[in-house]
Structure 1
Amino acid sequence: MKINEANLVSQSAIATALALTAVSAPAYAQDNASGEGTETDPHDRGTIIVSADALSELDFIAGQDVIEVEEIQRDLTGQLGDLLVKVPGVSATSFSPGSSRPILRGLDGERVRVLIDGLGTADVGNTSADHATSIDPLTVERVEVLRGPAALLYGSQAIGGVVNVIDRRMPVAMPEHGLHIEGLTAFDTASELRSGGLSVDAGIGENLVVHFDGSYRETDDLEIPGFQLSEDLRLDLLADADEEEDEGELEEAEELREAAEQRGFVPNSATETWTVNGGIGLIVGESTFGASVGYYDTSYGLVGNPEGGHHHGEEGEVEEEEGEEEETVSIGLEQLRVDLRGDITLGDGLFSRLKLRGGYSDYTHIEFEGTEVGTVFDTETIEARAELVQTTGGVIGAQFTSRDFSAVGEEAFVPPNETTQFALFTVQEFDLDGFQIEAAGRFEQVDVESGPLGLERDFSLFSGALSLVRETEGGARFGITGSRAERAPAGEELFADGPHIATQAFEIGDPNLDKESALGVELFARAGIGAAQFGASVYYQSFDDFIYLSPTGEEEDELPVFEFLQDDADFFGFEADLVVPLIDNDSYNLTADLRASYVSADLDNGGNVPRIPPVSVLAALESDFSAFTVRSEVQWFGEQNNVAEFETPTDDFAFVNLFLSWRPLSDNQNVVVQLAGENLFDTTGRRHSSFTKEFLPLAGRNIKASVRFSF
Structure 2
Amino acid sequence: MTAHNNSYRKKGALCICAALVAPEIYAQTEIEEIQVIGHPLDVTAAELAQPVSIIGGETLDRVRAANLGETLAGELGVNATYFGAGASRPVIRGLAGARVRTMQDGIDSMDVSTVSVDHAVGIDPLVAQQIEIFRGPTTLLYGSGAVGGVVNTVTNRIPEFAPEDGFEGAFELRGDSAAGDRAGAIALDGGSDSFAWHVDALSRSTDNYEIPGFAVLEEDEREEDAVPGIVENSDIDVESLSIGGSWLFDDGFFGVSVSSFDTNYGVPGHHHHEEDAGMPGMPPEEEEEEIVRIDLGQTRVDLQGGWYGLASGIEAINFRMGINDYEHIELEGDEIGTRFNNDAYEGRVEVVHSPWGAWDGAVGVQFSQREFSSIGDEAFVPPVDTLNYGFFIIEERQTENWQISLGGRVEWQEHSPSTGREISDTATSVSAAAIRPFGNGGYSFVVNSALAERLPVAEELFSDGPHLATQIIEVGRSDLSVETSQHLDFGIRKTEGNLQWAVTAFVTSYDDFIYLQDTGVEDPDEELPVFNFAQRDADFVGLEAELFTTFARVGQGEMDLRLFVDFVEGELNSGEYLPRIPPRRYGARLQYHDDRIIVGLEATEYDDQNDVAPFEEATAGYTMVNADINWRIETARGPELTLFVRGTNLSDEDARRHTSFAKETAPLIGRNVSVGFRASF
Asked if TM exceeds 0.5, the reply is yes
1:284 match: 249
1:383 aligned residue (346, 361, 369)? 346
Q: SS where residue 467 of structure 1 aligns?
A: strand
Q: Call closer, same or farther: CA 1:320–1:71 in 2, change over 3 Å.
A: farther
1:51-62 paired onto structure 2 within 5 Å: 51-52=37-38, 54-57=40-43, 59-62=47-50
- Equivalent pairs: percent with the same residue? 37
Distance 2:36 2:267 in 1: 35
Which structure 2 segments of 5+ residues have no match?
1-21
**Deviation at residue 52 of structure 1 after TM alignment:** 4.7
Q: Give the aligned partner of residue 478 of structure 1.
A: 445
Q: Is the 8 A contact 2:162 2:197 kept in 1?
A: no
- 1:39 matched residue in structure 2: 24
Task: Tell me which residue corresponds to 2:333.
Answer: 370
Output one character per residue of 1:19-72: Cα deviation in whole Å (capped at 9) or x when no partner: xxxxxxxxxxxxxxxxxx983331135355312563224732320111113222
Quick one: distance in 2 between partners of 1:484 and 1:320? 59
Whether 1:101 aligns to 2:68 is no
Do 1:149 and 1:466's aligned partners in 2 also have CA atoms closer than 8 Å? Answer: no
Count of aligned positions:
648
Confirm whether residue 169 of structure 1 aligns to residue 138 of structure 2: no
Residue 670 of structure 2 aligns to a residue whose secondary structure is: coil
| 1:351 matched residue in structure 2 | 314
Aligned mates of 1:132, 1:345 — CA distance in 2: 37
Hey, what's the Cα distance between the residues in 2 that align with 1:422 and 1:387?
Answer: 14
Structure with larger RCO (C-alpha < 8 A, sep 6+): 1
Call closer, same or farther: CA 1:47–1:147 in 2, change over 3 Å. Answer: farther
Q: How does 1:186-585 map to 2 (within 5 A)?
A: 186-203=174-191, 205-230=192-217, 233-234=218-219, 236-237=220-221, 256-259=223-226, 262-304=227-269, 310=273, 322=285, 324-346=287-309, 349-392=312-355, 393-451=360-418, 453-474=419-440, 475-528=442-495, 531-556=498-523, 557-584=526-553
Q: Deviations over 1:663-686 (max 9, x none)?
A: 011899942211011111111111
Go from structure 1 to structure 2 and tell me whether the alpha carbon gap of 1:175 and 1:629 turns closer, same or farther (over 3 Å shift).
same
Task: Give 1:46's aligned amino acid.
Answer: E
Amino acid at match of 1:435: W
Distance across 2 between alignment mates of 1:490 and 1:320: 43
Match of 1:686 among 642, 645, 656: 656
Instruction: Return structure 1 stretches of 4+ with deviation > 4 angstroms.
Output: 148-151, 309-314, 316-321, 666-669
**Superposition deviation, residue 286 in structure 1:** 4.1
Between the aligned partners of 1:311 and 1:465, the Cα distance in structure 2 is 52
Query: Take 1:555 and 1:643, find their aligned partners in 2: how far apart are those partners?
Result: 20
- In the other structure, the counterpart of 2:73 is 85
Contact 1:121 1:133 in 2 (8 A): yes
Q: Deviations over 1:539-572 (max 9, x none)?
A: 0000111111122222331222222111111000
The 8 Å contact of residues 224 and 265 in structure 1, kept in 2 or not, is answered as: yes
The separation in 1 between residues aligned to 2:193 and 2:255, in whole angstroms, is 15
Aligned to 1:31: none
The residue identity in structure 1 corresponding to 2:239 is W
**Matches of 1:320 and 1:549 in 2, distance apart?**
36
Whole-angstrom distance in 2 between the partners of 1:705 and 1:86:
20
User: 2: CA distance between counterparts of 1:273 and 1:537?
Assistant: 38
2:632 is aligned with 1:663: yes
Aligned: 1:49 with 2:32:
no
Partners of 1:148 and 1:481 within 8 A in 2: no
Deviation at 1:385, TM superposition (A): 0.6
Indicate if the aligned counterparts of 2:136 and 2:148 stay in contact, CA closer than 8 A. no
**Aligned counterpart in structure 2 of residue 673 of structure 1, from 631, 643, 648:** 643
Give the partner amino acid of 1:210: W
Residue 469 of structure 1: how far off its partner (Å): 1.3
Say if 2:72 and 2:78, in contact at 8 Å, map to a contact too: yes
**Of the candidates 634, 638, 641, which is equivalent to residue 610 of structure 2?**
641
Q: After TM superposition, give the deviation of residue 586 of structure 1 in Å.
A: 6.5
Partner deviation per Cα, 1:368-401 (whole Å, 9 max, x = no partner): 1111101101111011110001233211100101
8 A Cα contact 2:519 2:531, kept in partner: yes
Q: For the residues of structure 1 that align with 2:648 and 2:628, how far apart are their CA atoms?
A: 8
Does the C-alpha gap of structure 1 residues 149 and 689 become closer, same or farther in structure 2, counting only changes over 3 Å? closer
| Equivalent AA in structure 2 for residue 349 of structure 1 | S
Which range moves more in the overlay, 111-120 or 498-507? 498-507
SS of 2:213's equivalent?
strand
Distance 1:501 1:566 in 2: 24
Shift of 1:264: 0.1
- Tell me the residue number matched to 2:106: 118
Normalised by the length of structure 1, the TM-score is 0.87
Q: What is the CA–CA distance in structure 2 between the aligned matches of 1:396 and 1:495, rounded to whole Å? A: 34
| Structure-2 separation of matches of 1:501 and 1:320 | 25
Unaligned runs of 5+ in 1: 1-36, 239-255
Structure 2 counterpart of 1:461, which letter?
Answer: A
Is the 1:149–1:465 Cα contact (8 Å) retained in structure 2? no
The residue that corresponds to 1:248 in the other structure is none
Q: 1:464 to 1:218 in 2, by over 3 A?
A: same
CA distance in 2, matches of 1:369, 1:558: 19
From 554, 563, 576, the equivalent of 1:594 is: 563
